Amino acid sequence: MRVIASTDEARRFSDEARRAGKIVGFVPTMGFLHEGHLSLVRASRRECGTTIVSIFVNPAQFAPDEDFDDYPRNFERDAKLLEAEGVDAIFAPKREEFYAEGFQTYVTVEDITRPLEGASRPTHFRGVTTVVAMLFNATRPDRAYFGGKDAQQAATISRMAADLKTGVDIVVMPIVRESDGLAMSSRNTYLSPEERNDALAISRALREAKAEIEAGERDAGNILARMRETIERSERANVDYVAAVERETFESVDTFRAGGRYYLLVACRVGKTRLIDNEPISIPG
Ligand code: PAF
């Protein structure tokens, strides 16, 4: 497994693989890998001849009051995990090289990024789309794999990849959960045992909401009110938002219609930790 720090070398590595007839798969991460990341790596390994994983904690997607400095990092552990998965290369650029002095160019996706995460974290998506575009330029992948937990991020990146004619196929993989339902996240390490227990209300609320919709409930307002109630029964959980949106556009909906494809979404602070989770919903036509 190669460990690459320079953008030029990443390009050469990818170009050589493609010249050898391989499909290049790419998994962008901020490191501190868990089973959710490894599910993306495994999908890339199944579908592509070469897999590159980036590890880069991207300063541009954190607001000044967010957890950039505290974000968990452990490169050696990550490298061991990736080697064991048979990854071909890690791309781990240095911050000073990647965001060189004088950097002032940003990629902005408009409508999808306005509500929800975009409203709570106004500079977040611009940081994500910018770094993902830069990572695509460095690793020149044919396919890139993203986790379904960050549903608005995945929809935003799919839009950007199509709009900018990147030629990269965006693959969004299902959320990986702990056995008790908690969606896997590098930020789960911040939770105390009591907070972790309270955080289970998030996935429980989503599960119950899905069951109610499957049983025939079509009023999004009723569903969201019950989700909020379920979560706020937990002492340490404070809901930032609960939402029901169209799957592709992220426009909010009042009613679930036959044939519709939606997300139920939650963002919630448990203690000081902000967690997000979602459940894709498909209504039979
Ligand atoms: O989902 C993440 O870990 C990050 O937002 C990403 C896509 C690696 C960009 O920094």
Q: Convert the pLDDT of each residue in 187-238 to its tens digit.
A: 999 999 999 999 999 999 999 999 999 999 999 999 999 999 999 999 999 9
CB 36 less than 6 A from any atom of ligand 1 = no
Average pLDDT for 134-145: 98
Q: Convert the pLDDT of each residue in 21-71 to its tens digit.
A: 999 999 999 999 999 999 999 999 999 999 999 999 999 999 999 999 999
Q: Convert the pLDDT of each residue in 236-251 to its tens digit.
A: 999 999 999 999 999 9
- Residue among 51, 16, 54 nearest 132 (CA): 54
Q: Convert the pLDDT of each residue in 92-123 to its tens digit.
A: 999 999 999 999 999 999 999 999 999 999 99
The fold of 186-279 is Pantoate--beta-alanine Ligase; Chain: A,domain 2 (3.30.1300)
Burial class (CB in 10 A: 0-12, 13-18, 19+), 212: middle
Nearest-atom number in ligand 1 for the CA of 150 is: 1
CA dihedral sign, ordered 270, 127, 24, 30: negative
Domain boundaries, the chain: 2-173, 186-279
Return the number of other C-beta atoms located less than 10 Å from residue 260's C-beta: 16
Q: What is the largest CA-CA distance in the chain?
A: 57
CB 132 less than 6 A from any atom of ligand 1 = yes
Strand order in the sheet with 261-270: 237-246, 261-270, 273-282
The residue to which tokens 């992220």 are assigned: 250
Distance 266 CA to ligand 1 centre (A): 19
**Catalytic choice (17, 24, 30, 37):** 37
Q: Which residues have a Cβ under 8 Å from the Cβ of 89 and sit 6 or more positions away?
A: 1, 2, 3, 4, 10, 13, 50, 51, 52, 53
| Backbone phi and psi for residue 183, each to the nearest 5 degrees, phi listed first | -65, 135
Average pLDDT for 266-274: 97
Distance spanning both ends of the chain, measured CA to CA = 47
Looking at domain 2-173, its CATH class is alpha beta
Q: Convert the pLDDT of each residue in 70-94 to its tens digit.
A: 999 999 999 999 999 999 999 999 9
Can you tell me the distance from the alpha carbon of 236 to that of 196, in angstroms, rounded to the nearest whole number? 10
CB 209 less than 6 A from any atom of ligand 1 = no
CB 29 less than 6 A from any atom of ligand 1 = yes
Among 38, 99, 129, 131, residue to substitute to test ligand 1 (most atoms within 8 Å of Cβ): 131
CB 27 less than 6 A from any atom of ligand 1 = no
37 is catalytic: yes
